[in-house]
Amino acid sequence: MTSPSARNTGPIAATAPGPRVLCDTRALAEAPPLPGGVLWKLTESGRQLDANVVRLGPGRQVTAHTEPQLDVMLLVIAGDGVLGAGPSDASQPLAEGALAWLPHGAARSITAGAAGLTYVTVHRRRPGMRIGTRPDA
């Protein structure tokens, strides 16, 4: 006899989620302007990706930073703005429909235009924090 804990232990369990529509990004982008922030995020359990719909208010900015571990895809769904690629590189315009790749290790910043900027980001899910020994210990 198989114990209950030994069943459905493979990568695809009987309760695996199926494909489905998660949100209407057009409706989110057309909602009354909010100050900004995350409008939606992927929260399904067992996922391998993280995704967000983010709104920046007019002139607001994600300051220059470097993501050391994850590549990020960014899709503009409303508004416009500027993608900065570091202090010495020229900025690139962002408009509705623009798809940008933000490679790990590369500096980037995002600045919203006069009407604000709404975009989707998708990247590999970060592993959860774990208790363990430090590598240098």
SS (H, E, C) 39-71: EEECCCCCCCEEEEEEEECCCCEEEEEECCCCC
Which amino acid appears at position 134 of this protein? Answer: R
Residue among 20, 112, 44 at smallest CA distance from 74: 112
Enter the pTM of the model.
0.75
pLDDT of residue 16: 64
Residue among 120, 121, 123, 124 at smallest CA distance from 25: 120
User: What is the number of residues in the chain?
Assistant: 137
pLDDT of residue 132: 62
Query: Consecutive 10-residue runs of the chain (137 residues): their mean pLDDT?
Result: 42 64 85 78 86 93 89 95 78 95 92 94 76 63
